[in-house]
């Protein structure tokens, strides 16, 4: 799946497939998709793990290389201890501040990342693609209902209400799915630190 394929699926559900007479521009469709991908990422983020070099005599780790960062979950330093030694830490800007000072060795940072849906790739699981379509079509349909207010349309005076009802129904289904996804991916926070 890529952005072009996702856009086509959204247009198909919206019955907006006439390229000569699109109701929504590609930018509008892509904007709705991007919004839903951001919301989906908060419910089901990508789990990442990177080894980042520490600095001698400094408790600061530069994390500016972690793109689309949502949250840092843990910092393991030093590595290869049994059991693992997890640092107490805080994140400020593009830095992690550990309790212990570094020595030039790597620290293992586990973090959560926003999904991507690009021209050539996607990190969204295949089984969740329909959730993205559902949310994007819901947002676009409700926006169309606002656009049709005080306008003459071939759908008659009920066009606004019909768009709004259909869009809201889809958004309700999308929000239920998103809550279920978030519930299934919930982690119970615990501290696992060894001295």
Domain spans of the chain? Answer: 3-43+121-184, 46-113
pLDDT at 149 over 90: no
Q: Which of 129, 130, 138, 186 is nearest to 164 (CA)?
A: 138
% of the chain surpassing 70 pLDDT: 87
For residues 50-77, give the mean pLDDT.
96
- Band the pLDDT of 192: cuts 50, 70, 90: low
For residues 91-117, give the mean pLDDT.
96
Assess whether the previous peptide bond of 191 is cis (omega < 30° from 0). Answer: no
Domain spanning 46-113: which CATH class is it, in words?
A: mainly beta
More confident residue, 161 or 169: 169
Report how far residue 31's alpha carbon sits from residue 28's, in angstroms, rounded to the nearest whole number: 5
């Amino acid at each position: 799946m890529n952005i072009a394929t996702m856009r086509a699926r959204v247009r198909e559900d919206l019955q907006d497939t006439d390229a000569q007479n699109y109701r929504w521009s590609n930018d509008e469709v892509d904007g709705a998709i991007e919004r839903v991908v951001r919301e989906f990422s908060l419910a089901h983020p990508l789990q990442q793990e990177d080894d980042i070099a520490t600095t001698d005599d400094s408790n600061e780790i530069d994390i500016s290389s972690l793109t689309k960062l949502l949250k840092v979950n843990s910092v393991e330093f030093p590595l290869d201890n049994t059991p693992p030694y997890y640092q107490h830490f805080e994140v400020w800007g593009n830095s992690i501040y550990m309790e212990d000072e570094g020595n030039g060795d790597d620290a293992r940072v586990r973090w959560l990342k926003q999904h991507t849906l690009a021209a050539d790739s996607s990190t969204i699981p295949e089984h969740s693609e329909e959730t993205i379509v559902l949310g994007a079509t819901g947002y676009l349909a409700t926006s169309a209902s606002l656009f049709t207010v005080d306008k003459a349309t071939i759908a008659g005076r009920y066009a606004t209400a019909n768009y709004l009802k259909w869009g809201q129904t889809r958004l309700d289904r999308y929000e239920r799915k998103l809550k279920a996804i978030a519930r299934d991916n919930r982690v119970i926070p615990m501290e696992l630190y060894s001295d």
